[in-house]
Amino acid sequence: MAKWTAANIPDQTGRTVIVTGGNSGIGAVTARELARAGARVIIACRNTSKGTEAAASMPGTVEVAELDLADLSSIRSFASGVSSVDVLINNAGVMALPLRRTADGFEMQIGTNHLGHFALTGLLVDRLTDRVVTVSSGAHRIGRIRLDDLNWEHGRYQRWLAYGQSKLANLLFTYELARRLTAAGSLVRALAAHPGYASTNLQSHTESFQDHIMSLGNRLIAQSPAMGALPTLFAATEDLPSPTYIGPDGLFEQSGHPKPVHSNRASHDPTTATRLWTLSEHLTNITYKLTP
């Protein structure tokens, strides 16, 4: 049986897709391939100059809009300009940064990767017609949700554990959103994906010696951004039940073609998911309006 590739994307004519961080890396490939398949794609990114440059090289209808996921006011401004969207792809993210804080005081990784996308999805959920796809990572397996200190305000900051927390939060969010959408009688689906080990600029911002190590890994063993984008594209376009999780089919899910995969037990803990949801609503001051 032939492996699934971007050439298998169903016709997307008439559909509007938002891709956060669609100006580079896996996000840019995702935006390009969906536009090639006929979708109207909105690249939502912080640096609109880079977004415009990326969009100019893409086929079809690609628009660029400013969105800074590390600033709730920017998220609200972006969402206010969206009238309807079929697919929201929560792709943007940061990885293993030194301790930094968002405009609202959140630790940068949980603030951008989880809370920013939680807020964005909540503001758009009543205008979504099909699905939301949130990009997680195999690093969710090292994560632990620090419900008593989500934003690393106490103790020694550990950048990789903070990243793992944010990626575990992505999955807890997806599974809890799926439960709530189903309970509300909504047909909107919540799915997740992870790219495996793909060569992108995500690995070049730790501001440590690890940048050099990961740069070498990118050249020697990582798969291309085009391959890394396939799980997201599969989750965004194929007829899959909520809350399917898609990843690569290769060894240890590091590379390969997309298929349904499993996340760890912690990601399926409904108690933690509910508590994280409540905390996220409190921190972002955004309450979801879920209707059929």
Q: How confident is the model at residue 263 (pLDDT cuts 50, 70, 90)?
A: very high
* CA 47/CA 215 separation, integer angstroms: 23
In a domain, 64, yes or no: yes
Q: 163 catalytic, yes or no?
A: yes
In a domain, 1, yes or no: no
Q: Which of 7, 9, 26, 1 is nearest to 234 (CA)?
A: 9
- Residue 291 has a pLDDT of 83
pLDDT cut 70: percent of the chain above it:
92
In a domain, 291, yes or no: no
In a domain, 79, yes or no: yes
Q: Could you tell me whether strands 85-90 and 61-66 are parallel, antiparallel, or unpaired per DSSP bridges? A: unpaired
Choice between 222 and 196, residue whose per-residue pLDDT is larger: 196
**Which of 163, 197, 245, 288 is flagged as catalytic?**
163
- Residue 222 has a pLDDT of 77
Say how many domains are in the chain. Answer: 1
- Residue 216 has a pLDDT of 45
Range of the domain at 111: 6-284
Torsions phi, psi for 192 (to 5 deg): -135, 160
Long-range pairs for 62-71: beta carbons < 8 A, 24 or more residues apart: 62/31, 62/32, 62/35, 64/23, 67/20, 67/120, 68/103, 69/20, 69/111, 69/112, 69/116, 69/117, 69/120, 70/46, 70/102, 70/103, 70/106, 70/108, 70/111, 70/112, 70/116, 71/102, 71/103, 71/104
The domain spanning residue 208 has which CATH number?
3.40.50.720
In a domain, 276, yes or no: yes
In a domain, 187, yes or no: yes
In a domain, 292, yes or no: no
* CA 59/CA 135 separation, integer angstroms: 24
In a domain, 60, yes or no: yes
Q: How confident is the model at residue 203 (pLDDT cuts 50, 70, 90)?
A: very low
Beta carbons of 105 and 151 less than 8 angstroms apart = yes
- Residue 108 has a pLDDT of 98
